[in-house]
Structure 1
Amino acid sequence: MTWYPTRLLPLALLALTLSCNSGSSPTPAPPTPPPPAPPTSTTFTNPLLSVGPDPWVYQKDGTYYYMSTTGGNIVIRKTAKMTDLGTSVSTVVWTPQQAGINQRDLWAPELFFLDGKWYIYYSADPLCCAGHRVHVLENTSADPTTGTWTYKGRIANPTADLWAIDGTVLEQNGKRYLIWSGHQTEGAGTQRLYISEMSNPWTLVGPRVELSRPEYNWETIGEPDVNEGPEILKHGNKTFLVYSGSHCSTDDYALGMLTASSTADPMQLSSWTKSSTPVFTKNTSGQAFGPGHNGFFKSKDGTEDWIIYHANPLTGQGCGDNRSPRIQKITWKADGTPDFGTPVALGTALTKPAGE
């Protein structure tokens, strides 16, 4: 209820009131109402954290689990609201120097809840085998920030156990697939996107199919040529594979996209249509250089789609810890494809995700 201050009485009426009360106890003054509560803020600004390369978000039962590259371990932040990420609890859930496991340069962890268990897919150099591979952890606890994470080993196609990073999971037509960035042959520098079917959350079967390679000018800036960071976004009757192109050392690291029907066989290259132009690029006046390696999540009430990505605040900062996580709302075009817009300038007030 809104409180309005009492208006001043006319002087004559005031005098009459005083004379009527003379000789009697003074009338107690009405209690002073409490000041109105300040309105709850409905906006936020990027970045969500000062550091957070390769950000990833997974939602379950009203909770958001955030991860990013730390290099030496795997950390999960848990929050009820994405815009409260900066004050969320941070838990180290895995370090590789245990049980005879020796790994370094841990990159791009992603968390999934599959078949009633939690799984983390991450990239690391196992100090063998010509460099990085994708690895899998498993946890049977209801909360992925508690319980024990068990190392399930490397996940690799049986016919091509080659350098690989940035594994993510696609579920389509009742099957699961791993999509990752890898090399065509040992020693090859160019990073391509591959897909293989999964028989369980830590095992690949069948052929390895190339879905994309750097071929357009915007994908070949810096060395080596790169397609990496594949992520899945679904909307209506379409499945989108959004990936990062060009090298992260450049300001021109950006997002590209493949599109398929939501019922198509994702193992068939013909199922996918590749955009010839990037779908999300730098905003130099807004302190967003090299935006990429993204993820997706729904708003708290489930009505909105949001993108999370990293970017550098200054030019020439490359692949280091200056990359900070930022979020913004996705809109949808008439043809059902996503419009990511332009990276919003740092410090711009944005409306919080619906339901926060």
Structure 2
Amino acid sequence: MTSLFRLLPVSVLAFTLACQSSSAPPAPSPAPPAPPTTATFTNPLLSVGPDPWVYQKDNVYYYMSTTGGNITIRKTGKMSDLGSAVSTVVWTPQQGGVNQRDLWAPELFFLDGKWYIYYSADPFCCAGHRVHVLENASADPTTGTWTYKGRIANPNQDLWAIDGTVLEQNGKRYLIWSGHETEGAGTQRLYISEMSNPWTLVGPRVELSHPEFAWETLGDPDVNEGPEIIKHGDKTFLVYSASHCSTDDYALGMLTASSTADPMQPSSWKKSTAPVFVKNPEGQVFGPGHNGFFKSKDGKEDWIIYHANPRTGQGCGDNRSPRMQKFTWNADGTPNFGTPVAVGTALPKPAGE
């Protein structure tokens, strides 16, 4: 039998097919394409972020850096996703009724069942910056109430101080910071003092390091600052920043001690005569320093986070951006940070991400 469609004019045939199409149920929409997956990331992690710090707890990373006017925490399950992490302002001097300015280098710790933040600020008195302490009893440091505990300083040696960090060794706890020897002295030195609780120092302050090598004395004033602790095997390492941040030659130095030594004894520490992490001009890494450390999500890799400028001559401002890279360990147990990786280089994400 001859097909009906062959007997119909073209216009009628088109109309017939159109009617059939309109009465038929619509075809299902194709599934949206899966988002691209990648196993790499690139530096910088954020466009701005001087003095970066990372603390890990319960499979979560808490990131902080200098903002100047407040204290902010970014919370993320993956460090490679820091750029999209939720950012929460947890404290400002105005909220706390505290008169301060120029808030620098906050560091977060979980001690004795509570959260503590150590940060540097100018309290409009006392010849400039001091290290201050906040406390929060909430399970999540981005929630709850932060309480100002005051300045942390030795009663008879309350001098200019910044960049407080915590060392735990031999069952005791210590604060390490960068400060002046006397009021008005410009050179920044590294000091240590024992803590009786997270906001109180007891006993004397002891100098552990001062700028002495040529690579520590570039710019004005001479600087040792940003002390950070990392332990490995039977050693404790104090990694610090040297030379002034106004120079491209801001770099990392290192002190080494036994993990069982008395850290209050300067003789317990051996200072490296050469820097352990320096600029990479070809890779747009100028003035790398003020670092922190963290483990990969699977706990098997060691990572350093630090700030650097993307161009020469940018100094101490907000051009400093946070970068991170994996590092290894030498045969003698010391860290090998390698060379700062060039901006835009694809790097494998931390293991477990």
Q: Answer yes or no: same fold by TM over 0.5.
A: yes
1:268 aligns with 2:265: yes
Asked whether the 8 Å contact 2:133–2:150 carries over to 1, the reply is yes
Give 1:36 shift. Answer: 9.5
Match for 1:224: what amino acid? Answer: P
Match of 2:229 among 229, 232, 238: 232
Would you say 1:152 and 2:149 are equivalent positions? yes
Report the equivalent of 1:320.
317
Q: After TM superposition, give the deviation of residue 220 of structure 1 in Å.
A: 0.1
Size of the alignment, in residue pairs? 324
Question: Per the alignment, in what secondary structure is the counterpart of residue 291 of structure 2?
Answer: strand
Question: 1:97 aligns to what SS in structure 2?
Answer: helix
Residue deviations 1:130-167 (CA, integer Å, cap 9, x gap)? 00000000000000000000000000012210000000
**What is the 5 A alignment of 1:189-338?**
189-338=186-335
Two-structure CA RMSD over aligned residues (Å)? 1.3
Cα distance in structure 2, aligned partners of 1:281 and 1:300: 27
Once the two structures are aligned, what percentage of the paired residues are identical?
87
Query: Structure 1 CA distance, aligned partners of 2:48 and 2:136?
Result: 27
**Counterpart residue number, 2:74:** 77
- Confirm or deny that 1:179 pairs with 2:161: no
Aligned pair partner of 1:169 in 162, 166, 170: 166
CA offsets per residue over residues 255-304 of structure 1, 9 Å max, x none?
00000000100000010000010000000000000000000000000000
How many Å separate the matches in 2 of 1:354 and 1:73? 32
**Structure 2: distance between partners of 1:84 and 1:324:** 15
Separation (CA, whole Å) in 1 of partners of 2:350 and 2:141: 24
Deviations 1:54-98 (Å, cap 9, x if unpaired)? 000000000000000000000000000000000000000000024
Which TM-score applies when normalising by structure 1? 0.89
The 2-side partners of 1:45 and 1:124 are apart by: 32
The equivalent residue for 1:122 is 119
- The letter for the 2-side match of 1:315 is T
Distance 2:36 2:141 in 1: 34
SS at structure 2 position matched to 1:85:
helix
The alignment partner of 1:122 has SS state of strand
Counterparts of 1:248 and 1:34, CA distance in 2: 52
2:239 and 2:115 map into 1 onto residues whose CA distance is 24
Unaligned runs of 5+ in 2: 1-29
Residue 339 (structure 1) aligned to one of 336, 339, 343: 336
Aligned structure 1 segments of 4 or more residues deviating by more than 6 angstroms:
33-36
Q: Sort the Cα spacing of 1:149 and 1:302 in 2 relative to 1 into closer, same or farther, 3 A.
A: same
Residue 39 of structure 2 contacts residue 348 of structure 2 at CA under 8 Å; is this kept in 1?
yes
Match of 2:107 among 106, 110, 113: 110
Judge conservation of contact 2:96–2:148 (CA < 8 Å) in 1.
Answer: no
Specify whether residues 38 and 79 from structure 1 end up closer, same or farther in structure 2 by C-alpha distance, changes over 3 A only: closer
Shift of 1:100: 3.4
TM-score if structure 2 supplies the norm length?
0.90
| TM-aligned CA deviation for residue 101 of structure 1 | 1.0
Do 2:96 and 2:147's aligned partners in 1 also have CA atoms closer than 8 Å?
no
Change (3 A) 1:104 1:114: same
The amino acid of 1:220's aligned partner reads: T
Q: What is the SS of the residue equivalent to 1:330?
A: strand
